[in-house]
A and B are shown apart, each in its own frame.
Chain A
Amino acid sequence: MARLTTENVGVAKEIISRYPRPKSALIPLLHLSQEQDGYVTEEGMQHIAELVGVTPAEVLGTCSFYEMFKLEPVGRYVVNICNNVSCMLCGSDELIHHAEQRLGIKVGNTTPDGTFTLESVECIAACTEAPALQVNYRFFNKVSTDGFDGLIDDLAAGRLDDDVPAHGTLARVRQHIPDDRRAGSIPPEGQTEPAWMHLNEPPASADGGEPS
């Protein structure tokens, strides 16, 4: 639980090779680190700094901007209950209160067994499905208190493993970009201008010779 594993270093190098500048791969690499350990460790950030050639302080500066990168250990399942207007009108306050009772922890904490972390979050763009929540950023809509209990039971029993992988997992199919379609490591100043840059140019002026 620390630096990237040998296997993940291979993945990291492939990710870095997709970008003209290694530093651009910072965010995907932070995801990789979070996927490996469930949160982004200091050792992980130091390792990423070595891989892309920046200082650990710059990695932390980027990482700490994003709420969804966790700098402390979290539970296997991070439960985010929406507390914004639509959800609140449809009972999210009661749902959050119920969740605290059911899990035996206050918002912002992790159960002692390390299974659940409970968070109350701002709008998650599911107002039509209020009250809504996410587990590891997978949606569960119109959740009642009973429904919440059932969800927790299912998660604890591993019945939802297919839908909700452990915290940090983005997708279980690794993205591979074929060699002929990747941007390659041509720095921006060496790239040719994209075709659309010239689409809206005015036609050559009337007195300026033949239009080509």
Chain B
Amino acid sequence: MSDVAVTINGQEIVANKGELVIDAAERHGVYIPRFCYHPRMKPVGMCRMCLVEIDTGRGPALQPSCMIECTPEMKVDTQSPVTKKAQDGVLEFLLINHPLDCPVCDKGGECPLQDQTLTYGPGESRFVEEKRHHEKPIPISDLVLLDRERCILCDRCTRFASEVAGDPLISFLHRGNETEVNTFPDDPFASYFSGNTVQICPVGALTALPYRFKARPWDLEATESTCQGCSVGCRIAIQESRNEVLRYLGVDADPVNWGWLCDKGRFGFEAVGAGNRLRDPLVRRGDQFSVVRWSDALHATATAITAALGSTGPSGIAVIGGARLTNEDAYAWSKLAKGLIGTDNVDCQLGDGLPASAVLGLPKATIDELCAPGATVILLGPDIKEELPVLFLRLKHAVQNDGVKVIEVSSMPTGFTKYASVSIRHRAAEANEAVRALLDGIPAGKDGGGADARVLDAARALVTSGAPLTVLLGRTSLSEQPDAVVDAAAALVDRVPGVKFLSGLRRANVHGALDMGLAPGLLPGRTTLAAAGGWFGRVWPQVPTQTGLDTTGILQAAAAGHVDVLILLGADPLADFPDRTLAEQGLAGARTVIALDTFLNESAQQADVVLAAAGFGECEGTTTNIEGRVSVLNQKVTPPGSARTDWIIAAELARILGSDLQLESVDDIRDEIEELSAAHRGLTVDVLAKMAYGDGVVVPLPSEPAPGADGDGDADGVGSEASDEAGDEASDEAGEPETVGADLERPGPAPIELERTDALEAPPIDAYSYRLVTGRRLYDQGTLVSQAGHLAGLAPGTVLRINPYDFDRLGVAEGTTLPLRSPRGLVEIEVHTDREVPRGTAVMFFNQPGADAARLIDATARVTEVRLETGGPS
């Protein structure tokens, strides 16, 4: 990147070629006021607030600094009398119609219009006429309200909606003298990203229902953390007043979220302080729970565990869950379960993810690598708009601006379909057939999983174009086994040199839980029982020798009466395990159920002992995102009642069991992780302390400085309004390997590798059934959504979508409600057509009100097959 010498206010600075004057000035400490300009969106020069005198050799002239790129010899004056007069005038115009109702406005105190009027404005207005009037405020969606009188028409929200979110549901209407932002009548701004418009609105025109009139900005205290709404790991500021979390704001983490959040993450804060949080431990007495003291609850738990160890042995104890926990909590529980109790029946996923070896044992990519200019991406996983929304924003931006080409491999249309270069539609449970046909052509005697040969050819051309290839790998459907996806990944890694994978698992800290060994056969540091048993045996009292059961296996064993103690570590199998029938049998069959949770969810209600856990924002720790990026979670409020942090519960249990985890603080745990986990080498307490504010680092840390590691063009000159410099510095330092030195080179156990299945035959086709494809929506009946007051109720429900060809054979009208039967159960569901659904496939959504997919799914079947019952002879 070549440099350009520019003079700003008489001072020589060096700008990057193509850098905007407003950015170059800010990078060198000269703030130019602005309303419409936002570093993450294209400039429009609408508000005129950033007018400064620019001289490019033809004499100084007022020009909008957000539209002008730095050129050699350019002279910029941001303080000249002409500039000051322009700023004065622009503000006087902007305030003509602004109601100046700051005392009752939520934005007052953090309002750019207020602040910049004070700094640059005229002080008084000459306008004496009537200001314009609008009905105020009007709801433009379920979450966002619009006050058109306050609006200064900067185009930020409307640009965000069309440019960033891709949902142009708000627009300038009646342009001219009566310009206003609004929606089409009865067509609300129902974007998953609508909350961002509230954050970027430079006035109080857009306000969010969950925060409205809750606090004044000067009463809020903030800390930085990482959103736990999904696993993308967006950086947020938690803002609190009087020990109550009142809102989250997006923080601009350049490698991750660019300042954006989805509405589920942003408004999920309401679940933190929800009234029905678990405050104290409970023990079942008959049909009722009684509130007990912690020591009673922990002794009840320890007694059950000791009894199980005495009768069945370690295998009689099983642990499900862990994705809600911090890395440190997960390590403590991993050590307790595997190292102390000695069971390997531990799984942090609920039958809805991928085997650990497919997540940890493949070459890993970062989000920036996925979105690298000119790259090719294969989406082989869930609908990222529904499950990893901010990753959707990043990849959409890369497709539209950086020439990234996306190949979508899916059995159903997704939110990304319209941005994909190629969409391969294959029969459910045959993703591997489609991917192998993509790589090698359709073999004789097969049909490539039902994918169109021309589409496969187009995809092959992209894969073989020589552009770097990254695969987003996740669970495509909850109603089929993950083995087809794993087999497809094996084919890709074997056949495409240099291919990298980004995990598409969605649970908040599932990657941290896997890194800490909360999966069968796994140990902390992305290694296996076989490879690292001895390594951990030095410090842990014991290490299991036999690979244990995953969640499906645990529930089956429990249903058969082989599980004495089932510990639910922030897991709700009744709601989240795809197969409700098996989950019910498993919970009923386990002799003692212990639940550690923040809410008394459906599964916890079946428990014998419920331990109240501290949740997000209430405890210190770190989290790991889809890339393997470790970032710091800071505490902002105290847990409700006597609720405790999960690692403390583990440590206390160990003590009552007559042993000791040797872990007395979060820092102790961090030390031990750094010591034992090869993947976390160098992530010392000191390094983490510097990362408390900042983007975090991807583990394992590089032992050599990566060439051009700082060369990310997007990073330069793009400051965030919410980020602070201390945080950026800290993350930079933490990312430098010399802070940890050659220590990274010490020996460790071999890392986990992808476990391949033998030749996987496609399941036989049953012409009378549909293969069920089950996806997720952003809003469902999960804990976070249903406990966050303003998100509850946004779950849209589900219909069944099938190919029109199949539909015609049913002989019913569009939208008819029919019984849908699987070997597991029966639901009533509305049936609709969708050309994008392959023949023989039926698509529905999971955990939605109304028809419940979990009643149909058989977690033990390769793919769940369903039949529609039309009643009449057909």
Query: What are the residues of chain B within 8 A of A56 when measuring CB–CB?
Result: 184, 187
Q: Are A60 and B175 in contact (CB under 8 A)?
A: no
Query: What are the residues of chain A within 8 A of B170 when measuring CB–CB?
Result: 57
Q: Which A residues, 29 to 76, have Cβ-Cβ distances below 8 Å to chain B? A: 42, 45-46, 54-61, 64-65
Q: Are B168 and A58 in contact (CB under 8 A)?
A: yes
Query: Once bound together, how far apart are the Cα atoms of A56 and B186, in whole Å?
Result: 10
Q: Are A61 and B171 in contact (CB under 8 A)?
A: yes
Does B174 interact with chain A (Cβ within 8 Å)? yes
Query: What are the residues of chain B within 8 A of A58 when measuring CB–CB?
Result: 162, 168, 171
Partner of B174, one of A54, A55, A57, A65: A65
Does B169 interact with chain A (Cβ within 8 Å)? yes
Query: Once bound together, how far apart are the Cα atoms of A165 and B25, in whole Å?
Result: 60
Query: What are the residues of chain B within 8 A of A45 when measuring CB–CB?
Result: 184
Partner of B173, one of A54, A55, A61: A61
Partner of A61, one of B167, B175, B185, B187: B175
Q: Are B168 and A60 in contact (CB under 8 A)?
A: no
The residue of chain A having its C-beta at the shortest distance from the C-beta of B167 within the complex is A55
Query: Once bound together, how far apart are the Cα atoms of A55 and B418, in whole Å?
Result: 14
Query: Once bound together, how far apart are the Cα atoms of A121 and B162, in whole Å?
Result: 35
Q: Are B169 and A65 in contact (CB under 8 A)?
A: no
Measured between C-beta atoms, what is the minimum distance from B861 to chain A in Å?
Answer: 39
Query: What are the residues of chain A within 8 A of B176 when measuring CB–CB?
Result: 65
Query: What are the residues of chain A within 8 A of B822 when measuring CB–CB?
Result: none
Q: Which A residues, 147 to 203, have Cβ-Cβ distances below 8 Å to chain B? A: none
Partner of B183, one of A46, A57, A59: A57
Query: Once bound together, how far apart are the Cα atoms of A154 and B174, in whole Å?
Result: 35
Query: What are the residues of chain A within 8 A of B805 when measuring CB–CB?
Result: none
Query: Once bound together, how far apart are the Cα atoms of A56 and B184, in whole Å?
Result: 6
Query: Once bound together, how far apart are the Cα atoms of A154 and B167, in whole Å?
Result: 50
Among B171, B175, B183: residue with most chain A CB under 10 A: B171
Measured between C-beta atoms, what is the minimum distance from B790 to chain A in Å?
Answer: 23
Measured between C-beta atoms, what is the minimum distance from B165 to chain A in Å?
Answer: 12
Measured between C-beta atoms, what is the minimum distance from B139 to chain A in Å?
Answer: 15
Query: What are the residues of chain A within 8 A of B187 when measuring CB–CB?
Result: 55-57
The A interface, classified by DSSP as helix, strand, loop or mixed, is: helix
The residue of chain B having its C-beta at the shortest distance from the C-beta of A56 within the complex is B184
Q: Are A64 and B175 in contact (CB under 8 A)?
A: yes
The residue of chain A having its C-beta at the shortest distance from the C-beta of B189 within the complex is A57
Query: What are the residues of chain B within 8 A of A46 when measuring CB–CB?
Result: 184
Q: Which B residues, 145 to 196, have Cβ-Cβ distances below 8 Å to chain A? A: 162, 167-176, 182-185, 187
Q: Which B residues, 764 to 819, have Cβ-Cβ distances below 8 Å to chain A? A: none
Given A55-B184, A56-B184, A57-B184, A65-B175 contact (CB < 8 Å): yes
The residue of chain B having its C-beta at the shortest distance from the C-beta of A54 within the complex is B168
Q: Are A57 and B175 in contact (CB under 8 A)?
A: no
Query: What are the residues of chain B within 8 A of A42 when measuring CB–CB?
Result: 184-185
Measured between C-beta atoms, what is the minimum distance from A39 to chain B in Å?
Answer: 15
Given A54-B168, A57-B168, A64-B185 contact (CB < 8 Å): no
The residue of chain B having its C-beta at the shortest distance from the C-beta of A49 within the complex is B184
Query: Once bound together, how far apart are the Cα atoms of A56 and B167, in whole Å?
Result: 11
Interface residues on B, range: 10 to 19
The residue of chain B having its C-beta at the shortest distance from the C-beta of A65 within the complex is B175
Query: Once bound together, how far apart are the Cα atoms of A206 and B747, in whole Å?
Result: 71
Query: What are the residues of chain B within 8 A of A55 when measuring CB–CB?
Result: 167-169, 171, 184, 187
Measured between C-beta atoms, what is the minimum distance from B167 to chain A in Å?
Answer: 8
Query: Once bound together, how far apart are the Cα atoms of A59 and B168, in whole Å?
Result: 11
Query: Once bound together, how far apart are the Cα atoms of A46 and B168, in whole Å?
Result: 14
Among A46, A54, A61: residue with most chain B CB under 10 A: A61
Q: Are A60 and B173 in contact (CB under 8 A)?
A: yes
Query: Once bound together, how far apart are the Cα atoms of A73 and B636, in whole Å?
Result: 57
Given A54-B168, A57-B168, A58-B168, A64-B173 contact (CB < 8 Å): yes
Query: Once bound together, how far apart are the Cα atoms of A58 and B189, in whole Å?
Result: 12
Given A56-B184, A56-B187, A61-B172 contact (CB < 8 Å): yes
Query: Once bound together, how far apart are the Cα atoms of A45 and B171, in whole Å?
Result: 14
Query: What are the residues of chain A within 8 A of B185 when measuring CB–CB?
Result: 42
Query: Once bound together, how far apart are the Cα atoms of A42 and B183, in whole Å?
Result: 12
Q: Are B174 and A64 in contact (CB under 8 A)?
A: yes
Query: Once bound together, how far apart are the Cα atoms of A70 and B238, in whole Å?
Result: 48
Q: Which B residues, 100 to 138, have Cβ-Cβ distances below 8 Å to chain A? A: none
Query: Once bound together, how far apart are the Cα atoms of A57 and B161, in whole Å?
Result: 11
Query: Once bound together, how far apart are the Cα atoms of A56 and B172, in whole Å?
Result: 12
The residue of chain B having its C-beta at the shortest distance from the C-beta of A60 within the complex is B184
Q: Which B residues, 177 to 236, have Cβ-Cβ distances below 8 Å to chain A? A: 182-185, 187
Query: Once bound together, how far apart are the Cα atoms of A46 and B172, in whole Å?
Result: 17
Q: Which B residues, 371 to 413, have Cβ-Cβ distances below 8 Å to chain A? A: none
Query: Once bound together, how far apart are the Cα atoms of A199 and B299, in whole Å?
Result: 92
Query: What are the residues of chain A within 8 A of B171 when measuring CB–CB?
Result: 55, 57-58, 60-61
Among A55, A59, A65: residue with most chain B CB under 10 A: A55
Query: What are the residues of chain A within 8 A of B182 when measuring CB–CB?
Result: 57
Query: Once bound together, how far apart are the Cα atoms of A181 and B862, in whole Å?
Result: 57
Query: Once bound together, how far apart are the Cα atoms of A57 and B181, in whole Å?
Result: 10
Query: Once bound together, how far apart are the Cα atoms of A55 and B172, in whole Å?
Result: 13
Query: Once bound together, how far apart are the Cα atoms of A46 and B171, in whole Å?
Result: 15
Measured between C-beta atoms, what is the minimum distance from B188 to chain A in Å?
Answer: 10
Measured between C-beta atoms, what is the minimum distance from A30 to chain B in Å?
Answer: 14
Query: What are the residues of chain A within 8 A of B173 when measuring CB–CB?
Result: 57, 60-61, 64
Query: Once bound together, how far apart are the Cα atoms of A65 and B175, in whole Å?
Result: 5
The residue of chain A having its C-beta at the shortest distance from the C-beta of B185 within the complex is A42
Query: Once bound together, how far apart are the Cα atoms of A60 and B171, in whole Å?
Result: 8
Query: What are the residues of chain B within 8 A of A59 when measuring CB–CB?
Result: 184
Query: What are the residues of chain B within 8 A of A54 when measuring CB–CB?
Result: 168
Query: What are the residues of chain A within 8 A of B169 when measuring CB–CB?
Result: 55, 57
Measured between C-beta atoms, what is the minimum distance from A121 to chain B in Å?
Answer: 15
Measured between C-beta atoms, what is the minimum distance from B227 to chain A in Å?
Answer: 28
Query: What are the residues of chain A within 8 A of B162 when measuring CB–CB?
Result: 58
Measured between C-beta atoms, what is the minimum distance from B286 to chain A in Å?
Answer: 57
Query: Once bound together, how far apart are the Cα atoms of A42 and B185, in whole Å?
Result: 8
Query: What are the residues of chain A within 8 A of B167 when measuring CB–CB?
Result: 55
Measured between C-beta atoms, what is the minimum distance from A94 to chain B in Å?
Answer: 28
Query: Once bound together, how far apart are the Cα atoms of A42 and B162, in whole Å?
Result: 21
Query: What are the residues of chain B within 8 A of A60 when measuring CB–CB?
Result: 171, 173, 184
Measured between C-beta atoms, what is the minimum distance from A51 to chain B in Å?
Answer: 15
Query: Once bound together, how far apart are the Cα atoms of A28 and B117, in whole Å?
Result: 44
Query: What are the residues of chain A within 8 A of B168 when measuring CB–CB?
Result: 54-55, 57-58
Query: Once bound together, how far apart are the Cα atoms of A135 and B109, in whole Å?
Result: 54
Contact with B along A119-143 (1 / 0, CB 8 A): 0000000000000000000000000
Query: Once bound together, how far apart are the Cα atoms of A42 and B173, in whole Å?
Result: 14
Query: What are the residues of chain B within 8 A of A64 when measuring CB–CB?
Result: 173-175
Query: Once bound together, how far apart are the Cα atoms of A57 and B168, in whole Å?
Result: 7
Query: Once bound together, how far apart are the Cα atoms of A204 and B169, in whole Å?
Result: 51
Query: What are the residues of chain A within 8 A of B175 when measuring CB–CB?
Result: 61, 64-65
Query: Once bound together, how far apart are the Cα atoms of A58 and B169, in whole Å?
Result: 7
Query: What are the residues of chain A within 8 A of B172 when measuring CB–CB?
Result: 61
Measured between C-beta atoms, what is the minimum distance from A132 to chain B in Å?
Answer: 24
Measured between C-beta atoms, what is the minimum distance from A160 to chain B in Å?
Answer: 32
Query: Once bound together, how far apart are the Cα atoms of A65 and B171, in whole Å?
Result: 12
Query: Once bound together, how far apart are the Cα atoms of A25 and B185, in whole Å?
Result: 22
Query: What are the residues of chain B within 8 A of A65 when measuring CB–CB?
Result: 174-176
Q: Which B residues, 46 to 99, have Cβ-Cβ distances below 8 Å to chain A? A: none
The residue of chain B having its C-beta at the shortest distance from the C-beta of A61 within the complex is B171
Among B169, B173, B182, B184: residue with most chain A CB under 10 A: B184
Query: Once bound together, how far apart are the Cα atoms of A64 and B185, in whole Å?
Result: 13
Measured between C-beta atoms, what is the minimum distance from A149 to chain B in Å?
Answer: 34
Measured between C-beta atoms, what is the minimum distance from A202 to chain B in Å?
Answer: 23
On A, residues with C-beta under 8 Å from B are 42, 45-46, 54-61, 64-65
CB pairs A–B below 8 angstroms (6 shown): A46-B184, A54-B168, A55-B171, A60-B173, A60-B184, A65-B174
Q: In the A-B complex, list the 9 residue pairs whose CB atoms are closest, starting with the nearest.
A: A61-B171, A56-B184, A57-B171, A57-B184, A65-B175, A64-B174, A64-B173, A55-B168, A57-B169
Known: A57-B170, A58-B162, A58-B171. 10 other contacts (CB 8 A): A42-B185, A55-B167, A55-B184, A57-B168, A57-B169, A57-B182, A57-B183, A57-B184, A60-B173, A65-B174
